[in-house]
Structure 1
Amino acid sequence: NEAGFRKDVTLRNSVNARSENKVNEMQLKRGHEDNYCQDKNQSQLTLKRNDSMTSIKSRGNWGSKWEFLLSCVGLSVGIGNVWRFPYLAYENGGGAFLIPYLIMLFLAGKPMYFMELAFGQFAGTGPLSIWTCCPIAKGVGAAMVCVSIVVVIYYNVVMSYALYFIYSTFQKELPWNRCDPEWSNGTNCVIRSLTVWQAAASQMFFSLSVSMGGLIMYSSYNDFRHNIFKDAMIVSILDTVTSVISGMVIFSVLGAMSHELGLKVNDVVKSGPGLAFVAYPEALSRLPWPHVWSVLFFLMLFILGLDSEFAILETVLTSLSDEINFLRRHKLKFTVAVGICCFLLGLPCVTRGGQYIFEIMDYYGGGISLVFIAVFECIAISWVYGYKKFALDIYFMLSKQMGFYWHVTWKYTSPIILAFIAIYSLINHTPLHYGDYDFPSWADSIGWCLTAFIVFQIPFWALIAIFKQNKGDTMWEKLKLAIKSTEHWGPKEAALKEEWRILKTGINSVYIVKKDLEAAKEPAKLSRFEMKIGSENKAYKSEEKY
């Protein structure tokens, strides 16, 4: 019996040892599998993040927040403030022009300025490829690129004026001291005229560079968490102050000239883009050492135009490079080629009849077109993509909730006011004029063709987006698919995009996980272990209690 008992104990110990070894092997194997899965998932996540970061690095980004801020100031505060604002104010009521300008700035300018900066920073891509949030609106980005091409062509002409004046300064007597200007009557208007509001809207967009794609392009190179709101407020205020100061200088000089000549202000000089190049030299000639001040002033004017020209040209380059990788790989050659083409296209603007070509490009290409683009941009972001979605995107990016002002201006005041002005400009259009010269109907038609080419990019690309949908059977189904965001929409970095998607769905968010962990942080305790089955085991609890 004792031998049998020992044999039974030995056999039982052997079975238990083999069972324990088998369990350990299974646990060890499972541990290896878990570690392998975790390592694999971690490797995939790391690889995905590295690919995203490589993409961001290959595209480029700002070295510091000051680079971005000063670049935005250079883009918005430019020749348009010093040259374009004063002559538009002169043509549209003088100081009274400030009233519609400031109202338009408050109801549409500032809101859209911040909208574009936030839009570009969130997606991290240019104005042409950013519309994955709303594929049907890709034509808005295409229209922005077209406007930028037109502006970048004739903007060089204004810069050439500044260089010519610098060259003319190196004489014993300043040329504008002995020059007898040809006077002509200016034009007046009242604030109640909607033409004034149209001029205020076009100047506001031109000055702030809204609806031209430059703001989206610049902010797309930002760090994702950069405080874009503060920069938007600083730049928009600086832009307005610069325009007002420039206007005050022009009208002060005109008042002094009017007093000396014994003429009315509107009889002193003719209105038009050349107004600033009459008033500013006159003011400089009255200062001590006028040659020095003239060189400094026109050099400043040239530099103001240069940084704006860089930004507008870069908008075209970035937009096309984001769409076509081949161009990004050959960015230098692409930049030189575009620069040479724009230079050659701008040469007609410096011929004897070049001023009239310049007027057509400025009014139809860089003025009225921006109002139409702004209307569709507001509708696409605030209504088609949705204000709530966009506000949530900004909250995820900046931890800032959008207030009542942004809700009202983005959804209602901006699109409604701008749409009304755009429709009015079509109904009550008057032929373009320069001084006493009225443009012929055929020249006006060329201008409208330029506007149509820019604006018709919007419906053209909308139709392409609709017909590219393969899933929908009917036109209505294709339309609904064309207004939905694609899987490419979201932050550029993969980790941020995943976090953003979690926030959007509300499932497994950080807050929910944290709450669940706090509720279940007390570990489970096993009261007793016995080799018994079911209710015979004291540690057993039925599923009903769970």
Structure 2
Amino acid sequence: MAKAESDTFKTKFDYVLNLVGLMIGFGNIWRFPYICYKNGGGAFMLAYIIFILLLLMPLAAIEATLGQHTGKSVIKVWSIIPLFKGLGYSAIFMMIYWNSYLPVLLSWTVRWLYASFGSDPVWTRCDNTWNTASCVSVVKNYTGNDTAIYGNQTVFRRSSVEEFFNNYILSKSEGLHDYGTIKPDLLIALALVWILAYFSVWKGIGWTSKVVYFTATTPFLMLIILVVRGATLEGAAYGIKEYLKPDLAKLVTLDVWTDAASQVIFSFGACTGTLSTISKFNRYKHNYVRDIILMTIANTAASFLAGVICFTVLGHLAVSKNTTIDEVADKGPQLVFIVYPTAISLLPLPRLWCPLFFITMLLIGFDSLFVYHEAFVCCIKDIVPGWFRFKYSHEVWMAATMFVLFMFGLTMITPGGIYVLELLNNYAITGWCIFFVALVQFIAIGWALGSNNMCDMIEDMTEYKLVKTRVYLHVMWRYVGPIVSTIFCIYSLSLYRTLKLDSYVYPTWANVLGWMIALTSSMTFPIGAVWMIYMADGTTLTEKFRRTLEIQDVKRPIEKANEEDEKML
């Protein structure tokens, strides 16, 4: 492992590009456009921007400040208030789930990319071995209708792209009861994803920062190319109009605000501990506030651009099939792996645009995987530093953790694997548990540590003089943040329904397993709090409790000022 004093970013751009990897990912491409459209277009954008101010900026300030102030990963930063130490372990579980889920999506992307380099786009035909009698070619006579009459029977029609993805790439089964065996092609793709990831992060943050110069910047260029191409399509204006058309009536429903708050937290990687962990690599006197503000703007712009790309091609698809946006729009994996390829197949030169799209998706996904896994290994190092004291220890443990997560990913590349992936998607990394973690963080800083103490840390590291901003942060941390997080946590729980994927209803045992997964990332705080109270000095419960609320000195040593440090401010 590199020496501790060299475990810092070498230039001021390294932190920014790692933030790009954290904050710009698959969620911008497949989640934002659909929920923006579903929730009233321009009306959702208004709610989204409001929650950047009410939730994201206060949470980002908490996490980045603690990481840079302590020089530790998220597993240690909450030692500043012993009662809240369990928050670090909550982040560990979220990183594990995300680092298991994301590589599987990347393996699907690799598989699509490989297919797109073939001699002809096989997903546009219905004469392949995986096609059924219900298949209709997307480039011939498919009109977007779901059913057709054959003799005396009504048959559900499926596009050739849908059958290519579900029947060929996934070999999708009927449910968890028909789990099947590992698909060899996806096994190779998943192994390739992890091998590429390993050689991108194996030497530590200094090496990773060099890689993200390419993986973080190239997708923006590709997104711009896709925006320009999409804007020239027939039906593009219709798609953008539907995308941004404000439906202000939806603002009176709590669903819109819940989706906006959830998307803000999910998209920016808040509450996962990754922001705290990558901030530890900053020098103590680094202007991280400026960087976070810039990345917030960049993330919002990337989400907006992704929406423009999405709805220009959906508008073209709707016009081509003489139907409406409602009929062709979809969310989640279906948007990336079915709807986008369908639209691209209708463009001139689909063999150019399809590889370009999936290369963009790969770079965006890899960038996120690099940052999340580097943060995960940093947490392990802080838990068991003795494991990292031998030569090449970082490389060895990086490989070991990736192998374990690779094995976990094998459960999601069988015919029934998509049902496991959907279980993780719905229970582990979104929903009420994210709002619960946000609530606890607000209470920890606003009430236990004290907002003035946190603002003093920000001033010390950035040399800003917070005046009006101090008032804003004080109100957000103590009042607005806890209230908003509580409301959405409770409301998200009230929306719980038995999980479904298409027509498949998950069995009771699967939903119980999902709840157990969700509780691993939310119950670490109360369990940790009880343990810290039990271990605290004191003879009475009240005395022990007060001990756990005592603020600890976890400030890291400040580096000697030199010319290089001054340039990084």
Give the TM-score taking structure 2 as reference length: 0.72
**Match for 2:496: what amino acid?**
H
Q: Select which of 447, 456, 478 maps to 1:392.
A: 456
| 2:405 is the alignment partner of 1:342 | yes
**Match for 1:276: what amino acid?**
V
**Match for 1:131: what amino acid?**
W
| 2:502 is the alignment partner of 1:435 | yes
SS of the aligned residue for 2:410 comes to helix
> Partner residue of 1:448?
515
CA 1:465–1:146: 2 relative to 1, 3 Å: same
The 2-side partners of 1:482 and 1:318 are apart by: 25
**Match for 2:404: what amino acid?**
C
> Partner residue of 1:415?
482
> Partner residue of 1:170?
117
Between stretches 332-341 and 433-442, larger displacement belongs to 433-442
| 2:312 is the alignment partner of 1:252 | yes
Q: Which has the larger radius of gyration?
A: 1
| 2:168 is the alignment partner of 1:108 | no
Deviation at 1:305?
A: 0.8
**Match for 1:398: what amino acid?**
T
The 2-side partners of 1:271 and 1:219 are apart by: 32
* Larger RCO, structures 1/2 (Cα 8 Å, 6+ apart): 2
> Partner residue of 2:382?
322
| 2:272 is the alignment partner of 1:212 | yes
Alignment of structure 1 residues 13-52 onto 2, 5 Å: none
Tell me if structure 2 keeps the 8 A contact 1:125–1:322.
yes
Q: Mind listing any 5+ residue stretches in structure 2 that lack a counterpart?
A: 126-136, 148-246, 562-569
CA 1:462–1:453: 2 relative to 1, 3 Å: same
The 2-side partners of 1:191 and 1:173 are apart by: 46
Tell me if structure 2 keeps the 8 A contact 1:391–1:401.
no
> Partner residue of 1:83?
30
**Match for 1:394: what amino acid?**
I
| 2:417 is the alignment partner of 1:354 | yes
| 2:136 is the alignment partner of 1:70 | no
**Match for 2:540: what amino acid?**
T
Q: Select which of 55, 64, 69 maps to 1:122.
A: 69
Q: Select which of 274, 279, 285 maps to 2:334.
A: 274
Between stretches 65-74 and 88-97, larger displacement belongs to 88-97
**Match for 1:209: what amino acid?**
G
Deviation at 1:431?
A: 2.7
Tell me if structure 2 keeps the 8 A contact 1:253–1:282.
no
| 2:320 is the alignment partner of 1:373 | no
> Partner residue of 2:231?
none
Tell me if structure 2 keeps the 8 A contact 1:87–1:276.
no
Q: Identity of paired residues, percent?
A: 30
Between stretches 337-346 and 70-79, larger displacement belongs to 70-79
Deviation at 1:95?
A: 5.3
The 2-side partners of 1:406 and 1:253 are apart by: 41
What RMSD, in angstroms, separates the aligned Cα atoms of the two structures? Answer: 2.5
SS of the aligned residue for 1:455 comes to coil
> Partner residue of 2:5?
57
> Partner residue of 2:556?
491
SS of the aligned residue for 2:368 comes to helix
| 2:217 is the alignment partner of 1:151 | no
The 1-side partners of 2:315 and 2:528 are apart by: 50
> Partner residue of 1:499?
none
Deviation at 1:177?
A: 3.5
> Partner residue of 1:138?
85
Tell me if structure 2 keeps the 8 A contact 1:322–1:328.
no
> Partner residue of 2:545?
479
The 1-side partners of 2:3 and 2:110 are apart by: 40
The 1-side partners of 2:529 and 2:260 are apart by: 29
| 2:360 is the alignment partner of 1:300 | yes
CA 1:265–1:436: 2 relative to 1, 3 Å: farther
Q: Which has the higher helix share?
A: 1
The 1-side partners of 2:273 and 2:425 are apart by: 17
Deviation at 1:239?
A: 0.6
Deviation at 1:435?
A: 3.4
CA 1:434–1:401: 2 relative to 1, 3 Å: farther
> Partner residue of 1:17?
none
Tell me if structure 1 keeps the 8 A contact 2:283–2:559.
no
SS of the aligned residue for 2:252 comes to coil
The 2-side partners of 1:421 and 1:263 are apart by: 36
The 1-side partners of 2:12 and 2:333 are apart by: 35
SS of the aligned residue for 1:71 comes to helix
**Deviation per CA, 1:121-166, whole angstroms, max 9, x where unpaired?**
1111100111221011011111011101001101111111211111
CA 1:192–1:446: 2 relative to 1, 3 Å: farther
**Match for 2:388: what amino acid?**
R
Tell me if structure 1 keeps the 8 A contact 2:81–2:448.
yes
> Partner residue of 1:20?
none
SS of the aligned residue for 1:248 comes to helix
Tell me if structure 2 keeps the 8 A contact 1:184–1:268.
no
